[in-house]
Amino acid sequence: MNEAARFALSAEATADIGGEIHALVSRLFPICRSITGEGVRRTLAILSEHVDVAVREVPSGTRVFDWTVPQEWNVRAASIRDASGKAVVDIADSNLHLVGYSEPVARRMPLSELRTHIHTLPDQPEVIPYRTSYYSRDWGFCMAHREYLALEDGDYDVVIDTTFSDGSLTYGEVFLPGETDREVLLSAHICHPSLANDNCSGLAVLAFLARALTGRRRRFGYRFLFAPGTIGALCWLAANEERLSRIDLGLVVSCIGDGGGPVYKRSRRGDAMIDRVMEVIRCDGRKISMIDFSPFGYDERQFCSPGFDLPVGLLQRSAFGTFPEYHTSADDLDFVRPEHLASSFRMIMDIIEVIETDRIPLNLSPKGEPQLGKRGLYATTGGHKTTPDVTMAYLWVLNLADGRHSLLDIACRSGLPFSAIAAAATRLEACGLVGDAQA
């Protein structure tokens, strides 16, 4: 495998990896996770079977910028039972039934009072919504609206067996050093319970990416972060503030296992290297839909806050909040598919290939257009109405290889895939027409 293609992976080469990633998603899916607690630790332990994850613990009460790490929350049981003792809601059936960070409850109450603590989706009566109450003490349950409407008047026994303790917030980190001190940040949130696309898919894809990069020659260092949303990212930023200047680009990865999109949200800067890389990436032959930055979403809004302004974008298949399964029990193991996980894996490996192999070419015959035909690079018959992309790639490289434009610059300017521009540069170099401006 030559230097320009050392990270390239074909669909055939990754044919089996979608099934492997889906199997990991299936193991992560049943775990009850939140922003703290044993669910996060169990998840990191499973990820550690695939790649060496360094586990970090941040004590409860730690001040992190304008936030404070909350008490650790753990769940033993939660249910609602009717007068006959039948469970009408039980967290054993779905982690989504309990509002995240619910405080302990053990008492009997009438349906009229219970209703004020139940969340449903009337427009989607068959699914359970996902709700949290991280930073205000409260309690609640979530259930399918159809089942909610079936509740009969009477008293119900409510039991929420949860604990709050001075423990810690847990996050995981993998760092693969490169030949330089420049870094790429890849982040996935780990705080959601049984939601397969959001974000078991992101955790699993990044774990397999870290494994794939382990042992390879790397120009950049790669830092993988598995942290609870918002507060976890802030804990990592606070602990690494003096090293943030090394990050040249990054991606927050979420909702990466369905068949939509893909969609990329630009960094706050809008013209960072990662924003330009995404312009030339294809996923299963499709261009990536590009949307502008907004200060709402996942942890890209922490990395891109004005005090850090890191060059980090958000990559998803279907954008959060735009698909009906989002934050509901319909985001299950049937919603994410091995073939979509595999293509997402390939897409990010293609991104890494651009990052690793981008360089500045130099035209060694810049006075006029060199004769390509005698070198076997041009059609022997002229006069065609259109010019093949491969020929256009040669022409674009030769024209912009002035020592000031990188291969990525040329791909963005030409509208051609980076892989086509890189292949053209390699062929031109073999013919003695192009060299390396940085050599």
Q: What is the pLDDT of residues 59-78, one digit of tens each?
A: 999 999 999 999 999 999 99
Nearest to 61 by CA among 164, 171, 193: 164
Cβ atoms of residues 237 and 308 within 8 Å: yes
- Average pLDDT over the chain reads 93
Q: What is the mean pLDDT of residues 315-338?
A: 96
Q: What is the mean pLDDT of residues 246-261?
A: 97
The 3-state secondary structure of 11-63 reads: CCCCCCHHHHHHHHHHHHCCCCCCCCCHHHHHHHHHHCCCCCCEEEEEECCCE
Cβ atoms of residues 141 and 78 within 8 Å: yes
pLDDT band, very low/low/confident/very high, at 318 (cuts 50, 70, 90): very high
Q: Pick the range with the lowest mean pLDDT from 1-5, 234-238, 250-254, 388-392.
A: 1-5
Q: What is the mean pLDDT of residues 416-423?
A: 91
d(CA 408, CA 432): 21
Q: Please tell me whether 192 is known to bind a ligand.
A: yes
Give the pairing of strands 87-90 and 168-176. unpaired
Give the pairing of strands 289-291 and 247-253. unpaired
pLDDT band, very low/low/confident/very high, at 389 (cuts 50, 70, 90): confident
Q: Please tell me whether 275 is known to bind a ligand.
A: no
Q: Please tell me whether 117 is known to bind a ligand.
A: no
Q: What structural domains and CATH numbers belong to the chain?
A: 3-69+168-357 (3.40.630.10), 72-165 (3.50.30.90), 361-436 (1.10.10.10)
Q: Pick the range with the lowest mean pLDDT from 323-337, 362-376, 421-435.
A: 362-376
Place of tokens 């494994």: 211
> What is the token pair recorded at 400?
């912009």
Q: What pLDDT is attached to residue 372?
A: 86
Buried b (16+ CB within 10 A) or exposed e, 38-56: bbbbbbbebbeebbebeeb
SS3 152: coil
H or E element, residue 276? helix 273-279
H or E element, residue 233? helix 231-239
Whole-model pTM?
A: 0.92
Q: What pLDDT is attached to residue 12?
A: 52
Per-residue pLDDT at 193 exceeds 60: yes
The alpha carbons of the chain give a radius of gyration, in whole angstroms, of 25
pLDDT band, very low/low/confident/very high, at 387 (cuts 50, 70, 90): low
